[in-house]
């Protein structure tokens, strides 16, 4: 029995840990993919190799020099729809929805393995109807939408017939602090009347984007976290105006786009509010947890791709009498990248498992930890791959520049790194205070004065 005491004590402490990054049981380290999902995982990898990789270059080539940047060029959507139809017929579809009746019902942990594969090809997610921001929007609709909202918007999204956007960020305020959102929605009879401005609204430039979820302030007099609501706004509602596209490192990312929008007396039915008035923040928690971790899973796929490219380049070029891989510290560079990818993978899997076992809200510290860690490290890894490619690394001949841009962007989108570090740091401090207050741990100050708590 004596040997069990330290473990019991550890359990007691970690149960009190709330959202901090601690291990509650050894089961938290069981990060294996379930046997049930392995065939699906293998099928996704095979599908990307045989159906998505071969069309990717042509898809983007067809889009070059099109007359209207905010439309798709002839042939592009046909290629994409062909791949989507095949994926659907093979059942490789909508599996991002965890434990849902309408998706494959994958756990976040199982999905993590698949999302890494999706991250290796930028068309893959859409071919399998698993791309942002639709995934987050579909999950919200699926969890809190009314039967009418589901029929009108969720069904066509699940079928991959339309696309959607999520509109929260505003140019006039620090949007990291979502309590400050200014876009107003006021009830006038049976309608919300919306006025405000949003920017960097991804996907709102795509002609297939038919619906937006818009974060609005509906009651400035309510408690701080009850002032906001999320409202469904069809793109073609009078008063919705696309002012232009925001650049991302000089690219407008057309026709997907990251759009600057103005809402002027936009009227939508009262029933377009999601889950009820004042639920905006609760919905954000629901939506942003999975969205953030999906990004990180795909980022690891991108980092894997960068390592592959680095090694291929290092082995295939020679100078100064040696292969590039053997010059300078290149072996160590590759080693460090591999080590970091494996560390990130473990963190992402642990966060996914925490979401499965604790729920999205309780697992938010884990999600913030990976969101703070992964895009920054992936930027560094892709940067090393660019360096090993020389000038070609930043050219259109290789995807590395695009890959770096999207990882750099992720250090801002869905909350900048600092906000996520704040979540983790705060939880750590709170947890430590609780441990010390409960007498379960000594502070450094106690130790220094010799008053060390020895425990039960």
Q: Pick the closer one to ligand FAD by CB: 98 or 133.
A: 133
Q: Pick the closer one to ligand FAD by CB: 243 or 315.
A: 243
Give a three-class secondary structure readout of 265-291: EEEEEHHHECCCCCCHHHHHHHHHHHH
Q: Pick the closer one to ligand FAD by CB: 176 or 316.
A: 176
Residue pair 198/186 in contact by the 8 Å Cβ criterion: no
- Torsion 367-370-373-374 (CA) sign: negative
Please name the residue that has the structure tokens 């990312």: 253
Nearest approach, Cβ of residue 39 and ligand FAD (Å)? 34
Nearest approach, Cβ of residue 50 and ligand FAD (Å)? 31
Give strand pairing partners of 259. 201, 245
Q: Pick the closer one to ligand FAD by CB: 336 or 430.
A: 430
Both tokens of 78, joined, read 């046909």
N-to-C CA span, the chain? 14
Give strand pairing partners of 318. 323
Q: Pick the closer one to ligand FAD by CB: 193 or 419.
A: 419
Element (H, E) at 389: helix 364-389
Compute the half-sphere exposure of residue 239: CA atoms within 13 Å on the CB side of its CA. Answer: 15
- Torsion 114-159-164-191 (CA) sign: negative
Q: Give the number of other Cβ atoms within 10 Å of residue 193's Cβ.
A: 17
Report the interface residues with ligand FAD, using CB under 6 A.
133, 166-169, 174-176, 200-202, 248, 258, 409, 412-416, 418-419, 422
> From CA 151, how far away is CA 141, in angstroms rounded?
10
Q: Pick the closer one to ligand FAD by CB: 289 or 314.
A: 289
Nearest approach, Cβ of residue 409 and ligand FAD (Å)? 4
Both tokens of 433, joined, read 């205070």
Nearest approach, Cβ of residue 164 and ligand FAD (Å)? 10
424 by Cβ neighbours in 10 Å (0-12 / 13-18 / 19+) ranks as buried
Both tokens of 198, joined, read 């949003």
SS3 400: helix
Nearest approach, Cβ of residue 287 and ligand FAD (Å)? 11
Nearest approach, Cβ of residue 201 and ligand FAD (Å)? 5
Nearest approach, Cβ of residue 177 and ligand FAD (Å)? 6
Nearest approach, Cβ of residue 92 and ligand FAD (Å)? 25
Q: Pick the closer one to ligand FAD by CB: 146 or 422.
A: 422
Q: Pick the closer one to ligand FAD by CB: 302 or 333.
A: 302
């Amino acid at each position: 029995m004596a040997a069990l005491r330290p473990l019991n004590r550890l359990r007691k402490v970690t149960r009190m840990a709330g959202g901090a990054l601690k291990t509650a049981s050894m089961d938290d380290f069981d990060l294996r993919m379930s046997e049930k999902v392995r065939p699906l995982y293998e099928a996704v990898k095979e599908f990307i190799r045989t159906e998505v990789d071969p069309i990717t270059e042509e898809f983007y080539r067809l889009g070059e020099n099109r007359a209207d940047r905010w439309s798709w060029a002839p042939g592009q959507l046909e290629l994409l729809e062909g791949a989507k139809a095949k994926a659907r017929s093979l059942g490789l579809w909508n599996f991002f929805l965890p434990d849902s009746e309408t998706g494959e019902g994958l756990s976040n942990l199982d999905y993590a393995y698949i999302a890494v594969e999706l991250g290796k090809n930028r068309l893959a997610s859409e071919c399998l109807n698993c791309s942002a921001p639709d995934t987050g929007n579909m999950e919200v609709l699926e969890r809190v939408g009314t039967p009418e909202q589901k029929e009108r918007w969720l069904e066509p999204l699940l079928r991959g017939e339309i696309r959607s956007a999520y509109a929260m960020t505003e140019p006039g305020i620090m949007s990291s602090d979502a309590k400050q959102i200014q876009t107003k929605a006021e009830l006038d009879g049976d309608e919300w009347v919306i006025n405000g401005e949003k920017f960097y609204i991804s996907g709102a430039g795509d002609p297939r984007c038919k619906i937006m979820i818009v974060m609005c302030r509906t009651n400035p007099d309510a408690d701080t976290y009850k002032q906001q609501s999320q409202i469904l706004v069809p793109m073609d509602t009078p008063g919705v105006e696309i002012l232009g596209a925001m650049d991302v490192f000089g690219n407008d990312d057309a026709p997907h786009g990251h759009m600057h929008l103005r809402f002027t007396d936009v009227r939508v039915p009262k029933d377009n509010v999601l889950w009820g008035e004042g639920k905006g923040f609760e919905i954000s928690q629901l939506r942003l947890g999975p969205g953030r971790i999906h990004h990180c899973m795909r980022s690891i796929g991108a980092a894997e791709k960068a390592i592959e490219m680095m090694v291929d380049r290092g082995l295939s070029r020679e100078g100064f009498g040696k292969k590039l891989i053997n010059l300078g510290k290149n072996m160590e560079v590759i080693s460090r990248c591999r080590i970091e990818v494996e560390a990130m993978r473990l963190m992402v899997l642990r966060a996914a498992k925490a979401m499965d076992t604790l729920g999205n809200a309780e697992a938010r510290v884990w999600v913030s930890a990976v969101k703070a860690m992964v895009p920054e490290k992936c930027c560094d890894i892709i940067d090393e791959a660019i360096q090993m490619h020389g000038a070609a690394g930043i050219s259109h001949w290789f995807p590395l520049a695009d890959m770096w841009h999207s990882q750099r962007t992720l250090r801002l989108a869905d909350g900048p790194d600092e906000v996520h570090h704040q979540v983790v740091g705060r939880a750590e401090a709170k947890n430590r205070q609780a441990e010390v207050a409960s007498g379960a741990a000594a502070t450094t100050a106690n130790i220094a004065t010799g008053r060390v708590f020895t425990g039960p």
